[in-house]
């Protein structure tokens, strides 16, 4: 069963804490992406990666960090520097950059 998985489904962050969102794909896609979605808004690009060990900032990268050590995995860390982290986070992948993107089920991050 191929696809993109994200975990956890819900995540709670305490003030000053870093949290990491998991994204795994078994589609053999080279490119992976992270988006943030706020109520009533579209998808805003946080980071993307075209290939292993390479990643680029998107439109709203401040307060976030990523790594791409394996083709299948693209974890996103929400750092304490991100002052308004409450949002729905979506991971996506595509066979190469610019092609059709396929999305995971999302992680909802809430601040305690």
Partner 1 sequence: GENVEQHPSTLSVQEGDSAVIKCTYSDSASNYFPWYKQELGKGPQLIIDIRSNVGEKKDQRIAVTLNKTAKHFSLHITETQPEDSAVYFCAASKGRGSTLGRLYFGRGTQLTVWP
Write out the residues near partner 1 by the rule CB under 8 A.
4, 6, 40-43, 45, 48, 58, 90, 92, 96-106, 108
Q: CA-to-CA distance for 1 and 3, rounded, in angstroms?
A: 7
CB-based contact 27:100 (threshold 8 Å): no
> Which residue's structure tokens are 């790594």?
67
Q: Which is nearer to partner 1, 96 or 110 (CB)?
A: 96
Two tokens, residue 112: 């305690």
- Report the nearest approach of partner 1 to the CB of residue 97 (Å): 5
- Report the nearest approach of partner 1 to the CB of residue 71 (Å): 17
């Amino acid at each position: 069963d191929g696809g993109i998985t994200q975990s956890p489904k819900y995540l709670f962050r305490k003030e000053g804490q870093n949290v990491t969102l998991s994204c795994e794909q078994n589609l053999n896609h080279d490119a992976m992406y992270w988006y943030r979605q706020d109520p009533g808004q579209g998808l805003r690009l946080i980071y993307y990666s075209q290939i292993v060990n390479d990643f680029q900032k998107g439109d709203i990268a401040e307060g976030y960090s990523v790594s791409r050590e394996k083709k299948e995995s693209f974890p996103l860390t929400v750092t304490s520097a991100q002052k308004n982290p409450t949002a729905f986070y979506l991971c996506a992948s595509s066979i190469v950059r610019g092609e059709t993107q396929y999305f995971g089920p999302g992680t909802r991050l809430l601040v305690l």
